[in-house]
Amino acid sequence: MSSRVGLNWIWQSAKAMIVTGKHLFEPRTTEGLRPAESRAPRYRASFALVHNEHGEEACIGCKLCEKICPSDVITVVGGPKELSEATGKKRGTCTDFVLDLQACIICELCVQVCPVDAILMVREQEVPGYSREDLVLTMDKLYANEHDKALYWGSGSALMEMQNPKKEASS
Amino acid sequence: MTEFPPRVDPHFDIEEYDPEADLMALNMGPQHPSTHGVMRIKLFLDGETIVKAVPYPGYLHRGVEKLCEKLTYVQITPIFDKHDYVAPMTNEQAINLAFEKLLGLEVPLRARVLRTILAELQRIASHLLWLGTFTLDIGGTIGGGASMMMYTFREREMILDLFEALTGCRFHYNTHCPGGNRHDVPEGWETVVKAVLDAIEPRFDEYEALCDNDIFLVRTEGIGVLPPDLALELGQTGPVLRASGVDHDLRRDAPYHAYDLVDVRVAVDDGCDSLARYKVRVAEMRESVRLVRLLLPMLPQGPIVGSKPIKSLIQFKAAAGQVYVGMETPRGELGTYLIGGGDQRGAAPYRCKIRPPSLHAMAALPYLLPGHFLSDVVTVLGSLDPIMGEVDR
């Protein structure tokens, strides 16, 4: 190891002080936590269950999301098939839907596989709670999220459309 | 030909050491601010000089390889984000390259170019985080290193914002799937990338101005000398190998993604010490900026997924077969060895072996540490840049 003697430090310190001094005239380096509005449009944080265009609960209890979840955090209890008043067709129902957000890895696979666009992600994070149960999203909380929180852009069909766009009408 | 110090014996029996010496065993870690995760090094000290060092990994073992045997091809990608948590994007790409080779899927050109851009952006972000924490650990820059960390994290935030705009997450993206990408480029993304690159590139000069001082040089020059022959014997890859003067880079030597479309200039340094590793990483960041600038106009129109998009759990099926795919992540060659046909349905791998570059970097510690002072452990460990999530998996 060579011993460094001399006056190098004057020039070296001056160079570093110039860099540091430049930051006096620049915006602040640190900034606070940004609100959800300033996030990117695709920002995804939490979940919501939605109603379809006929005002029915969109989930048909097909359990595709439960099967694909890599961390097994979704539990779906399917109900009996009921006659839909709006369309006059029989459709499946869902009696209970629980999503344990503690172990969720926000991978978006449940949104991607949903055939009826029933589960969406929301752009606002869940607030920290005082007990573990606060972070388990029950069916009521998921349907409340549909109105209380900002939904993000994607749904199962929107993701499909992006990954596999329909062929333009051949002109 | 430079003279290297004689190679130390890492299995040297400490009982045979001079009994008169002031010998002390010291455990560094498992919880230590500079160990990049949870790791323990057992150090035998004579005074303040290290006589023997034994690293003990395994504190962050999460059983990723075993999990891969249970999950199907569709589910493994989000799990792989977690094992190198500083560069998740390249981890996803590595496992998906292996899937595509095993399943025989074609990746469209748009997805290949996009993956290359993402990999290079991730390399900048990963090296920026390394530079910030490394200078913070050794404290050689003006301001004790803390200002440097603030600067590098500011630039890294810009890149994470780019990833957020593309995938919706700042980390753990799950944006790749076998056969392509899940998220297409949003409108105006290329313009933002160019603006970010323009903002970041002049900063590299500032970092070098901050690091070019005697304190930094004395603490890094000649510390942790890894000769090229030892580096090759220990299986080093990435910046650690290139800083030992071996010109090896998978991006140029075995191109994957769209690296065959561009000419990759590989940064090599003959210094073999911690300073050389710093120089190589800064040069790599500049090169990554150049590559992204070259690749952005090349982004063609077209589909981003070659196969059908993910719609079911057992969508991808492969008969038994074995593949090995290596990929140059920011830390070196991340190899994935896959044997297909684990599940009865053929939708899960039978075995998945990960060859993490950080594990091999850790293996150099018993050779590099003896002879140095206790305070140099932080320098050597920092310059190797191991991520413990990747070492233990």
Any idea which residue has 């269950």 for tokens?
A49
Q: Is the pLDDT of residue A169 over 50?
A: no
The pTM assigned to this predicted structure is: 0.87
Q: Does the pLDDT at position A33 exceed 80?
A: no
Chain B's closest residue to A160, CA to CA, is: B309
Task: State the best of A107, A117, A152 to mutate against chain B, taking most chain B CBs within 10 Å.
Answer: A107
Distance CA B271, CA B269 (A): 6
Q: Is A80 helix (H, G, I), strand (E, B) or coil?
A: strand
Residues in chain B: 393
- B121: nearest Cα among B293, B307, B345, B346: B293
Digit-coded pLDDT (tens) for B247-293: 888 888 888 888 888 888 888 888 888 889 989 999 999 999 999 99
Give B190's strand partners.
Answer: none
Query: What is the interface pTM, i.e. ipTM, of the complex?
Result: 0.81
Shortest alpha-carbon distance between residue A153 and chain B (Å):
10
Cα torsion at B29, B35, B39, B44 (round to 10°)? -50
Interface contact A7, partner B, CB < 8 A = no
The angle, 0 to 180 degrees and rounded to 10, between the axes of the packed helices B274-295 and B376-384 is 30
Say whether B214 and A20 touch across the interface (CB within 8 A): no
Residue B344, pLDDT score: 73
Q: What confidence tier does B303 reach under pLDDT thresholds 50, 70, 90?
A: confident
With cut-offs at 50, 70 and 90, classify the pLDDT of residue B35. low
- Angstrom distance (rounded) from CA B310 to CA B182: 9
Q: Which of B187-196, B343-352, B379-388 has the lowest mean pLDDT?
A: B343-352
Mutate which of B158, B164, B275 to test chain A, going by most A C-beta atoms within 10 A?
A: B164
User: Would you state the pLDDT for residue A143?
Assistant: 85
Q: Cα–Cα distance between B143 and B141 in angstroms, integer?
A: 6
- Per-residue model confidence (pLDDT) at position A1: 43
User: What CA dihedral angle connects B265, B267, B270 and B273, to 10 degrees?
Assistant: -170
Distance from CA of A66 to the nearest CA of B (A): 10
- pLDDT at site A167: 58
Q: For residue B297, is the peptide bond before it cis, meaning its omega torsion is within 30 degrees of 0?
A: no
Tokens 């008043």 sit on residue: A85
For A136, phi then psi, to 5°, come to -90, 115
Interface test with A, best of B149, B213, B218, B220 (most A CBs within 10 A): B213
Listed in order, strand segments (DSSP E) in chain B are 23-28, 40-46, 49-56, 176-177, 180-181, 322-329, 332-339, 351-355
Pairwise CA distance, residues B304 & B186, whole Å? 13
Pairing label, strands B176-177, A74-83: unpaired
Backbone CA torsion sign across B169, B65, B113, B117: positive
Instruction: Tell me the CA distances in angstroms from B69 to B39, B210, B292, B350, one per residue in order.
Output: 26, 48, 35, 6
- Flag if B184 and A41 touch (Cβ within 8 Å): no
Judge: A9–B303 Cβ closer than 8 Å, yes or no.
no
pLDDT at residue B2, as a whole number = 67
CB pairs under 8 A between A and B: 119
The vertex-B276 CA angle with B272 and B282, nearest 5°, equals 150
pLDDT at B16: 75
* Cβ neighbours of A64 in B, within 8 Å: 312-313
d(CA A163, CA A157): 10
Q: What DSSP line would sit under B270-302, residue for residue?
A: S--SHHHHHHHHHHHHHHHHHHHHHHGGG--SS
What are the pLDDT digits (tens) for B317-330? 777 788 999 898 99
Q: How far is CA B161 from CA A148, B154, B198, in A?
A: 25, 11, 15
Judged against a pLDDT cut of 80, whether residue A8 lies above it is answered with no
Q: What is the C-alpha separation between A109 and B175, in angstroms, rounded?
A: 10
Please give, rounded to a whole number of angstroms, the shortest distance from the CA of B381 to a CA of chain A. Answer: 19
SS3 A45: coil
> Nearest to residue A155, comparing CAs of A60, A82, A76, A52?
A52
Using a CB–CB cutoff of 8 Å, tell me whether A151 touches chain B.
no
Q: Tell me which chain A residues have a C-beta less than 8 angstroms from the C-beta of B304.
A: 162-163
Instruction: Measure the CA–CA gap between B158 and A154, rounded to whole angstroms.
Output: 23
Average confidence (pLDDT) over B30-44: 78
Shortest distance, CA A95 to any CA of chain B (angstroms): 23
User: What's the one-letter identity of residue A34?
Assistant: R
Mean pLDDT of B115-124: 92
* Mean pLDDT over the full length of chain B: 85
B189-211 and B109-138 are packed helices; what angle lies between their axes, rounded to 10 degrees? 30
Q: Cβ–Cβ of B213/A13 closer than 8 Å?
A: yes
Residue A86, min C-alpha distance to chain B (Å)? 27
Q: Does B9 touch chain A (CB under 8 A)?
A: no
The pLDDT tens digits for B69-88 are 888 888 888 888 888 888 89
Choose among B77, B314, B72: nearest CA to A107.
Answer: B77
For chain B, what is the total number of helices (H) and then of strands (E)? 15, 8
pLDDT at A5 over 70: no
Tokens of B143: 């301001």
**pLDDT of the residue at A67:** 86
CA distance A45 to chain B (A): 8
CA distance B269 to B198: 26
